[in-house]
Each structure stands twice: as structure tokens, then as C-alpha cells.
Amino acid sequence: MSNTNDTRERIVKVAKSRFHNRSYADVGIKEICDMASIQKGSFYHFFPSKRDLVLAVIDEFAADWAYGFVAEAFDPSLPPMERIDYLIDAAYFWQRSSKELNGHIPGCLFGNLALEISTQDDILRAKLNAVFSSAKQRFKGTLDEAIEQGVITPLDSELTAEAMLAYLEGMILLAKAENDPEVIYRLGSALKNIRIELNTLI
């Protein structure tokens, strides 16, 4: 019951930052243990494997994200399409401040991991896919609301949501390749204009 022990939290905290700023393969257990000031035995007391650690990292990161600035961006009291602008802003400032700290844009942890290990580990891939799925739902909800309010003309909100997520991830990818957060700033405006029409034919 007591929670005097924060070892597990320290491990995940260190791992979150390392995995986000580097890559899954490049960050070793030893390094994580050193930074968390523990020994390997302790690590393997809490996590049966490196994969289980990154699974926990994904969970925590997704939770941080969902209850952090994404919750702010998708604030129901904001007009729906403004939430998308807000999201872009948040992404921009986050990447920019990360660069100021570490010299490099870390990009999106989920996108990074997805491209690194999707072909190598189906369980991790499925987990990341689930994260993307819930992100998609955020977009879809926003779009549905905007349609309902008559702010935008009807469209295929499911597909458009997926397209928006794709565009967001793509922007972040290019920004990372250029190591320049301004990419997000200058491309961001197109996000909320992406549309995939309802297929009424046939």
C-alpha cells in the first residue's frame, strides 16, 4: 500500500526521455539503470524485458499526452476547429523547447517507435497502432462536432481524422529531418483544411 518506493517510476521517467530523444535500440538497459541510480537486478525486478519497459513508456507517454496538452487543445469549450490550431501550436512549442534543451527535435515518440520497430515486433506495433487509433478518435470527435454545428460541410470524418493524423505525423517527421520546429509552424495551417469527402457514389 505504501508508496515510499519510487524506483519503478524513476526507471520509466528516465526511459521516457531517453527513448523519445534517441531510439529504442540505441538506449540500453545499463544506461537507464545508471541514470536512475539503480542496478540491473532492480530493473528486472520491475520489468521482465526491455520490451515491457517500452510498453510502459508508451502507456505513460500516451497518458501524459492525453491528460496534458492534448486535453487542453481538445478543450470542449473551444470552437471545434480552433482546437486543431491549438494542437498545432502546442506541438510547435513543444518541439521548439525540446530543441532548445537538447539541440535536436525529438519528434513524436509514437511515430519514432512505429517506424523503428513496426516490422520487428507486432506487439509493439499493435500498441502504437492503438495509440494512433485513439488520436484519430479525438480528431473524429472534433470533426463530427464541427459538422453538427454547421462550421464545416459534411465529410467523411473517420477518414479525414486519419488523414489529419497522417499529416500531423508527417509534419513532425519533416521537422525532425530538418531539425527545425518552424516546419510545423509553416505547414500547420493546412491541417484543418484537409478533407476527405463522403463517398456517396455507387
Give the list of residues 6+ apart from residue 88 with CB closer than 8 angstroms, or none: 168, 184, 188, 189, 191
Quote the least distance from Cβ 65 to its own copies, whole Å: 16
Q: Is 13 in the site for its own copies (CB under 8 A)?
A: no
Q: Select the binding partner of residue 23 from its own copies, DNA, none (C-beta < 5 to 8 A, by kind).
A: its own copies
Which of 8, 10, 22, 50 lies at the binding interface for its own copies (CB under 8 A)? 22
Quote the least distance from Cβ 106 to DNA, whole Å: 19
Q: Select the binding partner of residue 42 from DNA, its own copies, none (C-beta < 5 to 8 A, by kind).
A: DNA
Q: Is 2 in the site for DNA (CB under 7 A)?
A: yes
Percent composition of the chain: helix, strand, coil (DSSP 3-state, to 5): 70, 0, 30
Q: Is 50 in the site for its own copies (CB under 8 A)?
A: no
Q: Is 187 in the site for its own copies (CB under 8 A)?
A: yes
Closest CA to 90 of 145, 172, 190: 172
Phi, psi angle pair for 105, to nearest 5°: -75, 125
Closest CA to 12 of 132, 129, 100, 109: 109
- Separation in Å, CA 147 to CA 31, 47, 140, 165: 49, 45, 10, 18
Residue ranges that bind its own copies, judged by CB under 8 A: 21-23, 25-26, 102, 104-107, 111-112, 114-120, 122, 125, 128-129, 132, 159-160, 162-163, 165-171, 173-174, 176-179, 183, 186-187, 189-190, 193-196
